[in-house]
Structure 1
C-alpha cells in the first residue's frame, strides 16, 4: 500500500471520527434523571433510595466490566480470553469468605441450628439442578448472554435483547405457576447438601477455597498459554 493511500485512509477515519455524535449530553441527561429519582425516593423511603444507588453502581460496574456468565465460558473457547472467567472465580472466592463469616456467626449464636435458619439460599440438589443448568446454559448460548448481560445490553440500546427479556418474563411466570408440580415430583425428594454438616465449617471453607484457587490457576495457565501461542 502506497503512502498516499495510507494518508487517504487516515483522512477517512478522521472524518468518520468527527461525524460521531458526542455522548456527553446523554450522560448529563441520564445523571440528572437518576438524581431526581434519587431525591424522590429519599422523600418517600430512605431504603429505596439506597437500593437505587446500589442498582446504579452495579449497572455501571457490569457495563464497564462487560460482566457476563455466558461470555466467561464462551470467550476462552472462541477467543482464548479468560479475563471474565477469572473475575468470576475471584468473585466466588470473595463471596465464599463472606458467606462463611455470615453463616458461621449465625451458627455460633445458635448451635442447634436448622438448615432453614441459616442465612443464604440452601436448596435441594438433584437431577432438577442438572436439567436446569442445561436449559439455562443452552438459553444463554442462544440468547447471546446471561441475565445480567441481557439487562446491560438493553440499557445500551440493543433492541433484540428485549426479545430475550420477554423470554425471561414468560419463562419465570410459567416456572412460578408450575413450581409446586416440580417441587412435588423432583425438588422436595432431593437432598439438601450442606458441607459444614459433613466436614465442619473450617474444613469446608478450606476445601472450597482450594478448589476455586486450583480452577483459577488452570484458567490463568490457559490464558498465558494462548497469549504465548498468539505471539508466535
Structure 2
C-alpha cells in the first residue's frame, strides 16, 4: 500500500512540475503581448487598449473559472451555485452601468432601438429557439464561448474543434439570417421598459429581483451541500 501511495505522490509531483514548466511560455507570451501593445499604441492606440483589456479579461476568466455553462449546470450536478451567483452579481453591475449609459443617450437623442447602447432588440419565438439550441450546444461542448476560448488558451485540443464549430455556425447563421428576419424577427415586438416606466423604478426593480435570485441560489447551495 505504501508503495502505491509513493507512486501516486510521485505522479502528482510530476504533474505539478509539468504545470510549472509552462510558466516560461506564459512569461514569453506576456512579453510578446506587451511588445505588440507598444507597437500598436504608436499607430492605433485603440487596438492596443482592446488587446490589453482582452488579456486582462482572459486572466480573470482563467483564475475565476467563470463560465455561463458551469453557472447553469453546476447547481443541478453538484449543488454549487458560485458561478451562478457570480453571474447574478455581474448582471447587477451591468444593470447599473447600462442604466447610466442609456439614460444619458436617451436624454440627449431620444429612443432609437438601432442606436441605443446595449443592443435593444425584439423578443419572440426566434429567441427561444436560438437559446434552446445554444444551450444544448454549450452542454455538448462543455463550455460557453468565453469558456471555450479560455480552455483553448489552456491547451485543451478538443475545444479547437468547438471553435471551428462556432465559426461554421456563425457563417451559416449569417447566411440564413434573412430567412429568420423575414419570418420571425421583423414582426416580433420590442419591449423596452424605459418607454413605459421611470428609469429609477426599472433599475431598482431589476436589482431587487436579482438580489432575490442571489439569495435563493445561496440558500439552494447551503441546502444541497450540507
Q: Counterparts of 2:8 and 2:118 in 1: how far apart (Å)?
A: 56
Q: Counterparts of 2:30 and 2:122 in 1: how far apart (Å)?
A: 43
Deviation at 1:16, TM superposition (A): 4.2
Q: How many residue pairs were aligned?
A: 223
Deviation at 1:10, TM superposition (A): 4.5
- Measured against aligned partners, the alpha-carbon deviations of 1:173-192 in whole angstroms (never above 9, x if no partner) come to 11111111210111011011
1:143 pairs with 2:162: no
Q: Which has the larger radius of gyration?
A: 1
1:40 pairs with 2:39: yes
* TM-score after normalising by structure 1: 0.90
Structure 2 residue matching 1:189: 3-state secondary structure: coil
Cα distance change of structure 1 residues 196 and 132 upon mapping to structure 2, 3 Å threshold: same
Deviation at 1:79, TM superposition (A): 1.1
Paired residue for 2:127? Answer: 129
Mean CA deviation greater in 22-31 or 117-126: 22-31
Paired residue for 1:200? Answer: 198
- Measured against aligned partners, the alpha-carbon deviations of 1:42-83 in whole angstroms (never above 9, x if no partner) come to 233111111110000011111111111001011111111110
- Measured against aligned partners, the alpha-carbon deviations of 1:179-212 in whole angstroms (never above 9, x if no partner) come to 1121011101101100111222111112111111
Paired residue for 2:207? Answer: 209
Root mean square deviation, CA, Å? 1.7
Paired residue for 1:66? Answer: 65
Q: Counterparts of 1:218 and 1:12 in 2: how far apart (Å)?
A: 41
Paired residue for 1:9? Answer: 5
- Measured against aligned partners, the alpha-carbon deviations of 1:74-130 in whole angstroms (never above 9, x if no partner) come to 1111111110000000000000000011111122224x4333332220111000010
Q: Which runs of 5+ in 1 are unaligned?
A: none
* TM-score after normalising by structure 2: 0.92
Mean CA deviation greater in 133-142 or 39-48: 39-48
Q: How does 1:148-159 map to 2 (within 5 A)?
A: 148-159=146-157
